[in-house]
């Protein structure tokens, strides 16, 4: 499989980009990697890059976007931060990726048993991590069940995963609210902004 070119990127649509990722995740789950010569892709992309998607994911070592979607060099922009939330720098990176570099799809990718989300569920305090976790706290507060405070912590993995999904949804809301550029591109059908959850037990990505 060759690296994407300006020509192949130009034929890409938001739905086609999503289909590429879905197909790649199926290959990943079945341990069937696309046939790629990565050194050849190094050469192919030496004069430029033409990715088709931008993926915001957690820094979790089990959730490498290139691996779980079976993509090669030059295929995707990968933005990683614990808890997969956005700030000005990440929004600026996304605007560059879509408006200037031509990607057609933004995926906010959460995952099960997320450590950053667990920290937010437990209201953990530790150095600079405290401020990071505060970015995820709105998702904790937005999940109403269970009401029993003793069940609203990292030991309740169902609660953690529900908060993770809500965090993805709130992150998408922030993208729409804080980036007029990306919102306008989506309204014009130039890009699609979607959420997804990666299951660390199965390797499957559930898009929503």
pLDDT tens readout for residues 123-140 = 999 999 999 999 999 999
The Cα angle at residue 116 between residues 92 and 201, in degrees rounded to 5:
105
Q: Which residues of 39-51 are buried (b: 16+ CB within 10 A; e: fewer)?
A: eebeebbeeebbb
- For the structural domain made of 6-207, what CATH number should be given? 3.40.1050.10
Q: Is 58 annotated as a binding residue?
A: yes
For residue 110, the tally of other CB atoms under 10 A from its CB is: 30
d(CA 44, CA 153): 48
Indicate whether 34 pLDDT > 90: no
> Does 111 belong to an annotated binding site?
yes
The pTM of this model reads: 0.92
Q: Going by DSSP bridges, is the β-strand pair 205-207/192-198 parallel, antiparallel, or unpaired?
A: antiparallel
Is 114 part of any known ligand binding site?
yes
pLDDT band at residue 33 using 50, 70 and 90 as cut-offs: confident
The per-residue pLDDT of the chain, averaged, comes to 93
pLDDT tens digit sequence for 189-207: 999 999 999 999 999 999 9
| Residue 98 is assigned to a ligand binding site | no
32 three-class SS: coil
């Amino acid at each position: 499989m060759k690296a994407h070119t300006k020509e192949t990127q130009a034929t890409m649509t938001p739905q086609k980009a999503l289909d590429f990722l879905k197909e790649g995740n199926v290959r990943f789950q079945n341990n069937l990697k696309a046939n790629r010569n990565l050194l050849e892709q190094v050469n192919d992309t030496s004069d430029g890059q033409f990715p088709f998607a931008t993926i915001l994911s957690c820094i979790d070592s089990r959730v490498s976007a290139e691996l779980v979607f079976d993509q090669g060099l030059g295929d995707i922009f990968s933005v990683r931060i614990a808890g997969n939330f956005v700030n000005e720098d990440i929004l600026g990176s996304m605007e560059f990726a879509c408006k200037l570099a031509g990607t057609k799809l933004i995926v906010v990718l959460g995952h099960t048993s997320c450590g950053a989300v667990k920290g937010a569920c437990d209201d953990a305090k530790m150095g600079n991590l405290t401020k990071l976790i505060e970015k995820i706290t709105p998702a904790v507060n937005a999940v109403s069940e269970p009401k029993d405070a003793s069940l609203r912590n990292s030991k309740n993995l169902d609660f953690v995963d529900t908060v993770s999904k809500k965090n993805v949804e709130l992150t998408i809301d922030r993208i729409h609210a804080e980036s007029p550029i990306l919102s306008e591109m989506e309204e014009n059908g130039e890009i699609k902004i979607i959420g997804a959850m990666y299951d660390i037990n199965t390797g499957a990505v559930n898009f929503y």
